[in-house]
Amino acid sequence: MPSEASLRLLDGALVETLLHPDAVLAAVRDAFILHSQGEGRVFPVVREPLERGIFGIKAGTVPAQGLLGFKAAGFWPGNRGAGGEPHQATILLIDPATGRPLCLIDGNAVTTMRTGAAGALGLLQLARPDSTRLCLFGTGVQARVQLRFALDRMPALRRVRYVTARGEPSPAFEAAFAARCAMSHARDPDAAVADSDVVITATPGGGALFDAGAVRPGTHLTCVGTDTKGKRELPAGLLERTCLFVDDREQSRRIGEGQWAPDHPAVELGDLLTGRAQAGRSGSDITVFDMTGLALQDLTVARMLFDRAVLSDLGTRVPWPW
Digit-coded pLDDT (tens) for 225-234? 999 899 999 9
C-alpha to C-alpha distance for 70 and 60, rounded to whole angstroms: 6
Judged on CB neighbours under 10 Å (0-12, 13-18, 19+), 180 is middle
Count of other CB atoms within 10 angstroms of residue 178: 12
Task: Name which residue leads in pLDDT, 75 or 216.
Answer: 216
Query: Do 174 and 285 reside in the same domain of the chain?
Result: yes
Query: Do 154 and 261 reside in the same domain of the chain?
Result: yes
CA angle (214 as vertex; 195, 172 as ends), nearest 5: 55
**Which whole-number Å values give the CA distances from 224 to 112, 114, 134, 294, in the listed order?**
11, 12, 15, 12
Query: Do 270 and 142 reside in the same domain of the chain?
Result: yes
C-alpha to C-alpha distance for 116 and 123, rounded to whole angstroms: 11
Looking at the chain, the number of H-run helices and the number of E-run strands are: 9, 16
Query: Do 260 and 134 reside in the same domain of the chain?
Result: yes
Query: Do 118 and 106 reside in the same domain of the chain?
Result: no
C-alpha to C-alpha distance for 276 and 240, rounded to whole angstroms: 23
Count of other CB atoms within 10 angstroms of residue 63: 11
In the three-class reduction of DSSP (H, G, I as helix; E, B as strand; rest coil), residue 23 is classed as helix
pLDDT exceeds cutoff 90 at 196: yes
Instruction: Tell me, rounded to whole angstroms, the distance of Cα 56 from its chain centroid.
Output: 15
Query: Do 103 and 51 reside in the same domain of the chain?
Result: yes
C-alpha to C-alpha distance for 87 and 107, rounded to whole angstroms: 10
CA angle (129 as vertex; 112, 212 as ends), nearest 5: 70
Q: Which domain holds residue 126?
A: 114-293
Query: Do 172 and 123 reside in the same domain of the chain?
Result: yes
What percent of the chain has a predicted confidence (pLDDT) above 70? 99
Contact predicate 314/9, CB 8 Å: no
pLDDT exceeds cutoff 60 at 136: yes
- Model pTM? 0.94
Query: Do 178 and 191 reside in the same domain of the chain?
Result: yes
Query: Do 282 and 168 reside in the same domain of the chain?
Result: yes
pLDDT at residue 280, as a whole number: 78
Contact predicate 194/214, CB 8 Å: yes
When pLDDT is averaged across residues 134-157 and rounded to a whole number, the result is 97
The letter for the amino acid at 100 is: R
Query: Do 285 and 195 reside in the same domain of the chain?
Result: yes
CATH code, domain with 289: 3.40.50.720
CATH code, domain with 9: 3.30.1780.10
Run of H or E including 110: helix 108-126
Query: Do 123 and 271 reside in the same domain of the chain?
Result: yes
Contact predicate 317/310, CB 8 Å: no
Task: pLDDT band for 282, please (50, 70, 90 cuts).
Answer: confident
Contact predicate 48/286, CB 8 Å: no
When pLDDT is averaged across residues 9-23 and rounded to a whole number, the result is 97
Query: Do 38 and 65 reside in the same domain of the chain?
Result: yes
C-alpha to C-alpha distance for 141 and 130, rounded to whole angstroms: 27
**Close Cβ partners of 206 (under 8 Å, ≥ 6 residues apart):** 231
Beta bridge partners of 244: 266, 288
Task: Please tell me the total count of domains within the chain.
Answer: 2
Per-residue pLDDT of 81-128, as tens digits, reads 999 889 899 999 999 999 999 999 999 999 999 999 999 999 999 999
In the three-class reduction of DSSP (H, G, I as helix; E, B as strand; rest coil), residue 134 is classed as strand
When pLDDT is averaged across residues 173-195 and rounded to a whole number, the result is 97
C-alpha to C-alpha distance for 202 and 105, rounded to whole angstroms: 24
Helices (H), 169-260: 171-177, 189-194, 249-255
